[in-house]
Amino acid sequence: MGGGIVESHYPARSATGIPRNTKIIVTFKEPMRTATFIADGATPDPVDDTINAENVKLRKTIANPPTERDFITNMKAAATPDGKTFVFVPADLLGSPSEPISYTLRLEKGLKKANGDDAFGRFGTFYEWSFE
């Protein structure tokens, strides 16, 4: 946000009380290369599309450093036709019915703009935020 490529995202940074069945939405200031976000985005049915887990990483924030089991990779993914907005839907409910749990979504350096340029520029490596 600010001078970067990310225009907005939901949930907001440091948001609390987010529903367990939430969708995570990221909007960019310019079109992005869909295949860097969606692993099987070439299929005609977006219901079957999943995240590119190399570049889109959701994990429980409490684990530092995180282990493989802390990452949530079973997420569906979709993009708007203009390539600016991406929606990620975890297959299972997030969190716990009895206590708040913090999550961090990290967008990695492998993400590309539609023109092939690095999403976060030559010196940027990732973009992340946490919510509960």
Tens digits of residue pLDDT in 52-107: 999 999 998 876 666 667 788 899 999 999 999 999 999 999 988 999 999 999 99
Neighbours of 70 (CB within 10 A): 17
Percent of all residues in the chain with a pLDDT value above 70, rounded to a whole number: 86
The pLDDT of residue 122: 73
Rounded-to-integer distance, Cα 28 and Cα 38, Å:
15
Dihedrals φ, ψ of 97, to 5°?
-70, -15
Q: What's the whole-model pTM score?
A: 0.89
Contacts of 21 (CB under 8 A, 6+ apart): 93, 94
H or E stretch covering 60: strand 56-60
The pLDDT of residue 22: 94
pLDDT higher than threshold 90 for residue 40: no
Q: Read off the tokens for 10.
A: 């939901």
Return the SS3 of 56: strand
pLDDT-derived band at 16 (thresholds 50, 70, 90) equals very high
Give the Å distances, CA to CA, from 79 to 46, 85, 88, 121, 123. 9, 6, 9, 22, 26
Mean pLDDT throughout 28-37? 95
